[in-house]
């Protein structure tokens, strides 16, 4: 409770009371949702822009509430993280994504699935065992799984690096998401055990008419090449943005230009079309 009021009676502020009540309800609903598995994974294609081919897909969770309908991750992932529910939810997401990717593999589509990992999960003590268990159970080979992490995991640099190293030792790829938004990105990137840099959407939005964004993308590509890392851009909505990316050496991308995140059925339709063309 913030103490903005003269007497510290902010607790009785009706809007604040309403807010915390909403929050309590939300937490209860989320707990129920995890028990009842009220979630769906959507898959967004990742594209090799140069050859216009599908290389993989990012798993993005949606909460399909029986009364409220679809609730986007930005509204519940932060709550799941704060309450620790992300541990159970994250495990469910990972299992689901690996299981689904194995099904697609068996159909002949050899694609890498990328799953977002919260900072909280990195510091979960049995994370590596849990991942190994899921790979064994779903029979998905480690090389077909990628985990997307953000710079926020590096609050405890050594601890996070050690966990990532163990994950890479299994053969799983690590991608650093939203790259360029953290203030220290460039100074620490060389010491991170990561395979791919994902350039944040904020640099893509205006890349077709902003030289600074072009210079930043070019710099990230140069660094990635010298460190033997891959680069991908997110949030590509326009042909001009895709062209500007290619001009600056970035050949991999993801965004509404290619496809929105798709429900499993729609992604399968997308796969079949992709194979024909």
Half-sphere exposure of residue 51, counting CA atoms within 13 Å on the CB side? 6
Among residues 60, 122, 140, 233, the one that binds ligand C2E under rule CB under 6 A: 60
Binding pattern for the stretch 177-216 against ligand C2E, x by CB under 6 A and - elsewhere = xx--------------------------------------
5-23 burial, b at 16+ Cβ within 10 Å, e below that, comes to: eeeeeeeeeeeeeeeeeee
**How many beta carbons lie within 10 A of that of residue 200, not counting itself?**
21
Residue 143: helix, strand or coil by DSSP?
A: helix
Q: Is 49 in the site for ligand C2E (CB under 6 A)?
A: no
Nearer to Ca ion, 81 or 148 (CB): 148
Nearer to Ca ion, 29 or 148 (CB): 148
Q: What are phi and psi of 178, to 5 degrees?
A: 55, 35
Token output for 118 = 């919260």
Among residues 15, 36, 51, 74, the one that binds ligand C2E under rule CB under 6 A: 74
Distance CA 152, CA 169 (A): 22
Distance CA 232, CA 200 (A): 9
Q: Which H or E element spans position 198?
A: strand 196-199
Minimum Å gap between C-beta 19 and Ca ion is 24
Q: Is 231 in the site for ligand C2E (CB under 6 A)?
A: no
237 binds, among Ca ion, ligand C2E, none (CB under 5 to 8 A by kind): ligand C2E
Token output for 206 = 């205006």
Among residues 237, 251, 268, 274, the one that binds ligand C2E under rule CB under 6 A: 237
Nearer to Ca ion, 29 or 167 (CB): 167
Q: Is 151 in the site for Ca ion (CB under 5 A)?
A: no
Minimum Å gap between C-beta 265 and ligand C2E is 17
Distance CA 108, CA 260 (A): 23
Question: What is the phi-psi region of residue 197: left when phi exceeds 0, alpha when psi lies from -120 to 50, beta otherwise?
Answer: beta
Among residues 44, 96, 116, 138, the one that binds Ca ion under rule CB under 5 A: 116
Q: Is 44 in the site for ligand C2E (CB under 6 A)?
A: yes
Residue 210 is given by DSSP the state: -
Minimum Å gap between C-beta 239 and Ca ion is 21
Q: Which of residues 256-275 bind ligand C2E (CB under 6 A)?
A: 256, 261
Q: Is 56 in the site for ligand C2E (CB under 6 A)?
A: no
Token output for 104 = 């697609």
Binding footprint of ligand C2E on the chain (CB under 6 A): 44, 59-61, 72-74, 77, 90, 93, 116, 118, 177-178, 234-237, 255-256, 261
Binding footprint of Ca ion on the chain (CB under 5 A): 116, 148, 177-178
């Amino acid at each position: 409770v913030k103490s903005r009021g003269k007497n510290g009676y902010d607790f009785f502020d009706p809007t604040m009371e309403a807010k915390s009540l909403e929050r309590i309800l939300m937490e209860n609903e989320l707990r129920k949702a995890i028990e009842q598995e009220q979630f769906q994974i959507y898959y967004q294609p990742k594209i090799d822009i140069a050859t216009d081919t599908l290389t993989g897909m990012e798993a993005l969770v949606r909460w399909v509430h029986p009364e409220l309908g679809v609730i986007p991750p930005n509204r519940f992932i932060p709550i799941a993280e704060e309450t620790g529910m992300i541990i159970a939810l994250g495990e469910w997401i990972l299992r689901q994504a690996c299981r689904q990717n194995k099904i697609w593999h068996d159909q002949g589509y050899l694609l890498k699935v990328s799953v977002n990992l919260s900072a909280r999960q990195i510091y979960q003590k049995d994370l590596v065992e849990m991942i190994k268990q899921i790979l064994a159970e779903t029979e998905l080979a480690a090389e077909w799984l990628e985990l997307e992490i953000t710079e926020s995991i590096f609050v405890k640099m050594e601890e996070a690096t050690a966990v990532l190293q163990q994950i890479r030792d299994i053969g799983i790829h690590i991608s650093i998401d939203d790259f360029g938004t953290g203030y220290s990105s460039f100074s620490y990137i060389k010491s991170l055990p990561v395979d791919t840099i994902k350039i944040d959407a904020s640099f893509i939005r205006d890349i077709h008419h902003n030289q600074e964004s072009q210079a930043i993308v070019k710099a990230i590509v140069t660094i990635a090449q010298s460190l033997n890392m891959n680069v991908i851009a997110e949030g590509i909505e326009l042909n001009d943005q895709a062209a500007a990316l290619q001009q600056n050496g970035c050949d991999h991308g993801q965004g509404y230009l290619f496809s929105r995140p798709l429900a499993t059925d729609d992604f399968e339709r997308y796969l079949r079309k992709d194979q024909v063309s």
